[in-house]
Amino acid sequence: MHRDSGLAVLRPLGGFFVLRTGEPPHAPLPTLAEAYAASAADPLGARVRKVAGAIRAPEARIAASVAHLGLAARLWSVALGCAVRAGRLPDLAPSLLRWDPEGSAPDDLWLTEVRPLPAAAPEDLAAAPVSCAATPESAAALADAVLLGHLEPLAAALRARHRLAPGLLRGNAASALAGAARQLGGWALAAGHPEEAARAHDLAVRLLAHPLLAGAGTYGATGFRRRSCCLYYRVPGGGVCGDCCFTRAPGPSPRAGSG
Report the predicted TM-score, pTM, of the whole model to 2 decimal places: 0.88
Counting Cα atoms < 13 Å in the Cβ hemisphere of 3 gives 9
Q: What is the tens place of the pLDDT at every residue in 140-160?
A: 999 999 999 999 999 999 999
Start-end of H helices in the chain: 32-36, 43-55, 60-81, 136-142, 152-159, 166-190, 194-208
What pLDDT score does 134 carry?
A: 67
41 Cβ partners below 8 Å, 6+ apart?
30, 34
Listing DSSP states for 23-86 in one string gives S-SSS---BHHHHHS--SS-HHHHHHHHHHHHHT-SSHHHHHHHHHHHHHHHHHHHHHHIIIII
Partner residues linked to 116 by β-bridges: 90
Q: What is the tens place of the pLDDT at every residue in 199-220?
A: 999 999 999 999 999 999 999 8
Q: What is the tens place of the pLDDT at every residue in 60-84?
A: 999 999 999 999 999 999 999 999 9
Contact 246, 233 (CB under 8 A): yes
pLDDT of residue 177 exceeding 50: yes
Q: Which has more confidence, 137 or 10?
A: 10
The pLDDT of 218-230, averaged and rounded, is 89
What pLDDT score does 87 carry?
A: 87
Contact 110, 22 (CB under 8 A): yes
Counting Cα atoms < 13 Å in the Cβ hemisphere of 143 gives 18
Contact 170, 208 (CB under 8 A): no
Q: Work out the pLDDT band at 88, boundaries 50, 70, 90.
A: confident
3-class DSSP assignment, residue 181: helix
